[in-house]
Structure 1
Amino acid sequence: MTASVLRFRQWMFKSSGSDEWMPAVVPGCVHADLLRNRVIADPFGSDNERELQWIDKLDWDYETRFDVPAEMLLLPSLELEFDGLDTYADVSLNGRPVLSADNMFRRWSADVKGIAAEKDNVLRVVFRSPVREDLPKLQALGIALPAANDQSELGGLGDDKISVFARKAPYHYGWDWGPRFVTSGIWREARLAGWRGSRIADFFIRQDEITAQTARLTAQVEVRTLAACAAVLRISEGGRRWERQVELRPGTDVLSVELELEQPRLWWCRGLGKPERHAFKAELLRLDDGEPIDEATVVTGLRTVRLNTERDERGSRFVLELNGVPVFAKGANHIPHDSFPSEVPVEKYRAEVEAAAECGMNMLRVWGGGLYEDSAFYDLCDEHGLMVWQDFMFACSMYPSDDAFLASVAAEAEDNLKRLRRHPSLVLWCGNNEIDSAWSQYDEQGGWGWKGRFSAEQRSAIWSGYEKLFHVLLPRAVEAFSPGVPYWPSSPLARLSGDAGQHGHADAGEGDVHYWGVWHGMEPFEAFRGNVGRFMSEYGFQSFPQLSTIRTYAEESELELESRPMLAHQKHGGGNQRIRHFMNLYMSEPKDFPSFVYRSQVLQAEAMKEAMEAHRRAKPYCMGSLYWQMNDCWPAASWSGIDYFGHWKALQYQAKRSFRETLLSFGDSGGLRSLHAVTDRPGGVRGRLTLRLLEFDGTERRREAMEVRLDEAGSSVLLAFRDEDWLGGLPADSAVLVAALEEDGGAPLAEAWHYFVPLKQQRLERPRIAVTEAEDGSWTVSSDTLARQVRLAAEQAGRFSDNFFDVLPGLPRTVSFHGASGQPARPGRISWMSMQDTGADRIEGGS
Structure 2
Amino acid sequence: MRSYRPLHDGWTLTAVSRDAGVAGVPATVPGCVHTDLLAAGLIEDPYLDDNETRLAWIGRTGWIYETRFSWTADGHERTDLVCEGLDTAATVILNDVRIAETANQHRSHRFPVRHLLREGDNTLTVLFESPYAYAEARRAALGGRPGPYAEPYPFIRKMACNFGWDWGPTLVTSGIWRPIGLESWSGARLAGVRPLVTMEGADGRVEVHVTVDRVTEDPLTVTAEVAGVPGAPDVTAEVRLAAGERRGVLTLTVPEPERWWPRGYGAQPRYDLTVRLDEAAAKTAAKAVTEAVTEAVTEAVTEAVTEAVTEAVVTAAGTLGTVTRKIGFRSVRLDRTDGAFTLRVNDVPVFVRGVNWIPDDCFPNRVTRERLAGRFEQALDTGVNLLRVWGGGLYESEDFYDLADERGLMVWQDFPFACAAYPEEEPFRSEVEAEARQNVARLAHRPSLVLWCGNNENLEGHADWGWQEELGGRSWGSGFYYDLLPSIVAELDPTRPYWPGSPYSGAPDLPPNDPASGTIHIWDVWNREDYTRYAAYAPRFVAEFGFQGPPAYATLRRAVSGELVPDAPLVLHHQKAVDGSGKLLRGLGEHLPRPGTFDEWHYLTQLNQARAVAFGIERFRGLAPHCMGTIVWQLNDCWPVISWAAVDGDGRRKPLWYTLRRVYADRLLSVQGDVVAVVNDSAEAWRGELELVRHSLDGEPLAKETVAVEVTPRSVTRVEVPAAAGTPGDPARELLAVRLGEVRTVAFFAEDTRVALPEAAYDARAEPVQGGYRVTVTARTLLRELALFPDRLDPAASVDDMLVTLLPGESAVFHVATGRDLDPAELTGFPVLRCVNEARR
What is the TM-score with the length of structure 2 in the denominator? 0.90
Q: What's the offset of the Cα at 1:234?
A: 4.0
Using the alignment, how far apart are the partners of 2:227 and 2:838 within structure 1? 68
Q: Which residue in the other structure is 2:210 paired with?
A: 221
Q: Does 1:303 align with 2:330?
A: yes
Which residue in 2 is equivalent to 1:732?
A: 731
Aligned position for 1:660: 665
Q: Which residue, out of 779, 783, 786, partners 1:790?
A: 786
The answer for the alignment partner of 1:263 in structure 2 is 256
Amino acid at match of 1:494: S
Report the AA paired with residue 483 of structure 2.
Answer: V
**Does residue 1:553 correspond to 2:559, yes or no?**
yes
How has the CA–CA distance of structure 1 residues 839 and 802 changed in structure 2, closer, same or farther, with 3 Å as cutoff? closer
The partner residue of 1:173 within 163, 179, 199 is 163
Note the C-alpha offset of 1:240: 0.7
Alignment-derived partner of residue 711 in structure 2: 710
Residue 642 of structure 2 aligns with which residue?
A: 637
Aligned ranges 1:781-820 → 2 under 5 Å:
781-794=777-790, 797-817=796-816
The Cα of 1:816 is off from its aligned counterpart by 4.0
Equivalence for 2:839: 842
**d(CA) in 1 for partners of 2:678, 2:500:** 34
SS in 1 for 2:427: helix
Structure 2 residue 437 is the aligned partner of structure 1 residue 437:
no
Shift of 1:468: 1.6
Separation in structure 2 between the aligned mates of residue 654 and residue 839 of structure 1, nearest angstrom: 16
1:456-503 alpha-carbon deviations (Å, 9 max, x no partner): xx32x42xx5332111100011112212110100100112152xx342
Note the C-alpha offset of 1:248: 5.6
Whole-angstrom distance in 1 between the partners of 2:461 and 2:120: 56
Matches within 5 A, 1:677-756: 677-722=678-723, 726=726, 729=729, 731-742=730-741, 748=742, 750-756=743-749
Q: Are residues 1:32 and 2:35 paired?
A: yes
1:585 to 585, 590, 596: 590
Match of 1:172, as an amino acid? N
**2:53 is the alignment partner of 1:50:** yes
State the SS of the aligned residue for 2:431: helix
Alpha-carbon contact 2:239-2:249 (below 8 Å) kept: no
Q: Give the direction of change, closer, same or farther, for the CA distance of 1:712–1:529 in structure 2 (3 Å limit).
A: farther
The Cα of 1:574 is off from its aligned counterpart by 1.0
Q: Mean alpha-carbon deviation: is it higher for 803-812 or for 161-170?
A: 803-812
Check 1:260–1:592 CA distance in 2 against 1; reply closer, same or farther (3 A cut). same
Partner of 2:514: 505
Shift in CA distance, 556/131, structure 1 to aligned 2, threshold 3 Å: closer
Q: Is the 8 Å Cα contact of residues 495 and 502 (structure 1) preserved in structure 2?
A: no
Question: Using the alignment, how far apart are the partners of 1:245 and 1:628 within structure 2?
Answer: 47
In the alignment, the residues of structure 1 paired with residue 769 and residue 557 of structure 2 have an alpha-carbon distance, to the nearest angstrom, of: 36
- Specify the alignment match of 1:63 in structure 2: 66
Distance in 1 (CA, whole Å) between partners of 2:813 and 2:23 is 59
Change (3 A) 1:360 1:638: same
> Which of the pair is proportionally richer in helix?
2
Shift of 1:132: 1.4
Aligned positions, number: 791
1:571, CA displacement in angstroms? 0.8
Compute the displacement of 1:24 (Å).
0.8
* Corresponding residue number in structure 2 for 1:444: none
Deviations 1:328-357 (A, max 9, x none): 100111111111111222222112111111
Give the whole-Å Cα distance in 2 for the aligned partners of 1:469 and 1:194.
36
Residue 236 of structure 1 contacts residue 282 of structure 1 at CA under 8 Å; is this kept in 2?
no
Q: Aligned equivalents of 1:685 and 1:537: distance in 2?
A: 28
State the distance in 2 between where 1:49 and 1:550 align. 16
Per the alignment, in what secondary structure is the counterpart of residue 133 of structure 1? helix
Note closer, same or farther for the CA distance 1:439–1:609 as it changes in structure 2 (3 Å cut): same
AA at the equivalent of 1:64: T
Alignment partner of 1:393 is 2:416 = yes
Q: Gaps (5+ residues) in structure 2?
A: 287-312
One-letter amino acid matched to 1:505? D
**Structure 1 Cα separation of the partners of residues 252 and 442 of structure 2:** 22
- Segment drifting more, 580-589 vs 97-106: 580-589
Once residues 834 and 495 of structure 2 are traced to their aligned partners in structure 1, the CA distance between those partners, rounded to angstroms, is 55
Give yes or no for contact 1:620–1:713 (8 Å, CA) kept in 2: no
Which of residues 538, 546, 549 is equivalent to 1:543?
A: 549
Task: Report deviation, 1:95.
Answer: 1.0
Q: Distance in 2 between matches of 1:762 and 1:71?
A: 81
RMSD after superposition:
2.4
> Alignment partner of 2:675: what SS?
strand
1:616 has 2:614 as partner = no
Once residues 415 and 728 of structure 2 are traced to their aligned partners in structure 1, the CA distance between those partners, rounded to angstroms, is 56
Question: 1:420, 1:798 → 2: CA distance?
Answer: 38
Q: Which amino acid aligns with 1:195?
A: W
Query: In 1, are the aligned partners of 2:14 and 2:63 still within 8 Å (CA)?
Result: yes
- Counterpart of 2:538, as a letter, is V
Deviation at 1:424, TM superposition (A): 0.8
Moved more, 191-200 or 568-577: 191-200
Larger deviation: 705-714 or 326-335?
A: 705-714
Deviation at 1:700, TM superposition (A): 3.4
Unmatched runs of 5 consecutive residues or more in structure 1? 153-160, 441-446, 743-747
Moved more, 385-394 or 677-686: 677-686
TM normalised by structure 1 equals 0.89
Q: SS at the partner of 2:590?
A: helix
What secondary structure does 2:683 align onto?
coil
Please tell me whether residue 650 in structure 1 is matched to residue 619 in structure 2: no
Query: In 2, distance between residues paired with 1:826 and 1:266?
Result: 48
Shift of 1:55: 1.2
Shift of 1:372: 0.9
- 1:743-799 deviation line (CA, Å, top 9, x unaligned): xxxxx2x22111111111222222224245598986543221121222223355253
CA-CA distance at 1:229 after TM superposition = 3.9
Pick which of 28-37 and 547-556 moved more. 547-556
Alignment partners' CA distance in 1, 2:5 and 2:833: 62
1:470 counterpart = 2:481: yes
**Match of 1:586, SS?**
coil
* 8 Å contact kept, 2:60–2:131: yes
Counterparts in 2 of 1:836 and 1:7: CA distance versus 1, 3 Å: closer
Residue 365 of structure 1 corresponds to: 388
1:593 and 1:208 map into 2 onto residues whose CA distance is: 55
Counterpart in 2 of 1:768?
A: 762
Q: Conserved in 2, the CA contact under 8 Å of 1:210 and 1:303? A: no
Letter in 1 for 2:585: R
- Opposite residue 220 of structure 1, the aligned amino acid is H
* Distance in 2 of aligned mates of 1:24 and 1:632: 26
- Whether contact under 8 Å (1:599, 1:835) holds in the other structure is no
CA distance in 2, matches of 1:164, 1:774: 55
Distance of 2:251 and 2:655 partners within structure 1: 51
8 Å Cα contact 2:8/2:179 also seen in 1: no
Q: Quote the residue 2:17 is aligned against.
A: 17
Tell me which residue corresponds to 1:280.
273
Q: Give the stretch that moved more between structures: 39-48 or 601-610.
A: 39-48
Between the aligned partners of 1:230 and 1:185, the Cα distance in structure 2 is 39
Aligned sequence identity (%): 32
Distance 1:836 1:16, change over 3 A: closer
Query: In structure 1, what residue type is equivalent to 2:513?
Result: G
Residues 731-750 of structure 1, C-alpha deviations (whole Å, 9 max, x = no match): 432332211211xxxxx2x2
Distance 1:536 1:236, change over 3 A: closer
Aligned to 2:305: none
Contact 2:59 2:172 in 1 (8 A): yes
Q: Secondary structure at the match of 1:125?
A: strand
Secondary structure in structure 2 of the residue aligned to 1:790 = strand
Q: Aligned pair in 2 of structure 1 residues 653, 826: CA closer, same or farther (>3 Å)?
A: farther
Letter paired with 1:196: S
Stretch deviating more after TM superposition (424-433 or 466-475): 466-475
Does the 8 A contact of 1:595 with 1:839 survive in 2? Answer: no
Between 16-25 and 416-425, the greater mean CA deviation after superposition = 16-25
1:31 deviates by: 1.2
| Alignment partners' CA distance in 2, 1:383 and 1:450 | 42
Letter in 1 for 2:277: L
| CA spacing shift, 1:674–1:371, aligned 2, 3 Å | same
State the match for 2:119 in structure 1. Answer: 118
Q: Which secondary structure does the structure 2 equivalent of 1:572 belong to? A: coil
Distance 1:452 1:4 in 2: 53
Q: Secondary structure at the match of 2:524?
A: coil
